[in-house]
Amino acid sequence: MDAATFQARFNVSRETMARFLAFESLLRKWQAKINLVGPATLDAFWGRHVADSLQLAELAPHEAKTWLDLGSGAGFPGLVIAFSEQFDGTVYLVESDKRKASFLQAALREVPARVVILNQRIEDVDADEIGPIDVVSARALAPMPKLLDLSSGFFHGQTVGLFPKGQNWESELAEASQKWILSHEIHASLTNSDARIIKLTQILPRALENL
């Protein structure tokens, strides 16, 4: 997917495309110093990274105002969501690696957005301090069982989880379902025919099932 195809598919304005182009330029500059993304994926920036991230916004509730992205890395999907026109709210980026967090800060200086960067481990983030979260996302962070352990504390009654998963998504979901009761939808990925996006609308530990 090239830039023009991406722009047409997501109906992106010229102003927003300018943001993404500035972001791409900065990513390439920093990639020469630290490994932010897989080197082989850099030339597939629009499809592998931006479109793959932005497709999550189409699955988020229209009324969502707070988005928490766990293990943001180079800003996928969280920073892409924040730069886009599809989400009008505040995005929290959780990234424990100081160098990657520095890149996120540099990206925000280049392209300002409503973003809060939390340079800390996910386990150390105070859910009460950041307040209710409407959407939780994570891309290539951990298998589903571990991912739910990390993210469950941020779910409240209306929170939606959006988790892109690769070709092993079925086995990951089955394993997670042994510990969690999950209300979920499965959506095809726009960028990988073997991948799926798992949309969680409710999670409940099975330990509480019979209480």
Per-residue b/e over 172-201, b at no fewer than 16 CB within 10 Å? bbeebeebbebebeebebbbeeebbbbbbe
Residues 102-150: pLDDT tens digits? 999 999 999 999 999 999 999 999 998 999 999 999 998 999 999 999 9
The pLDDT of residue 209 is 55
* pLDDT exceeds 70 at position 208: no
* pLDDT exceeds 60 at position 44: yes
Report DSSP state, residue 112: -
Range 3-208 classified under CATH 3.40.50.150: yes
Question: What is the identity of the amino acid at 152?
Answer: S
The residue among 23 and 203 whose pLDDT is bigger is 23
* pLDDT exceeds 50 at position 40: yes
The pLDDT of residue 125 is 96
Helix (H) or strand (E) holding 106: helix 98-110
pTM of the entire structure? Answer: 0.93
* pLDDT exceeds 60 at position 210: no
Question: What is the identity of the amino acid at 178?
Answer: Q
The pLDDT of residue 211 is 47
